[in-house]
Amino acid sequence: MYLLGLGLILLVLKYVEWSPVALLSWWLVLAPFALAAAWWAWADATGYTKRKAMEADDKRRDERRARTKAALDANYHKSHRR
């Protein structure tokens, strides 16, 4: 995502002809888009994207279980104090 942001910024700066970027070759300005496409192809081919999604799901599940357990423990201790 960072590469896309960089590519968009460079593209806008080249379009408005901002001095340092206006002197750059179009190949350099468009290179972040090619790098982003290569990154996505690699991430999908190696399973990196799916693995990160599964890790995020596991983290959310574990946090939800911890909150539920803490709530049940709190209710258990309250009911036995009477």
Within 10 angstroms of residue 48's Cβ, the number of other Cβ atoms is 13
Exposure string over 3-42, b if 16+ CB within 10 A, otherwise e: beebbeebbebbeeeeeebeeeeeeebebbbeebeeeeee
Q: What span, in angstroms and rounded, lies between the C-alpha atoms of 36 and 10?
A: 14
* pLDDT score of 26: 93
Give the residue ranges of the chain where pLDDT is below 70. 76-82
**Helix extents (H) in 1-82:** 2-15, 19-22, 26-46, 48-80
Residue 72's pLDDT is what? 85
Give residue 70's pLDDT: 87
Q: In this predicted structure, what is the pLDDT of residue 37?
A: 96
Distance CA 58, CA 25 (A): 45
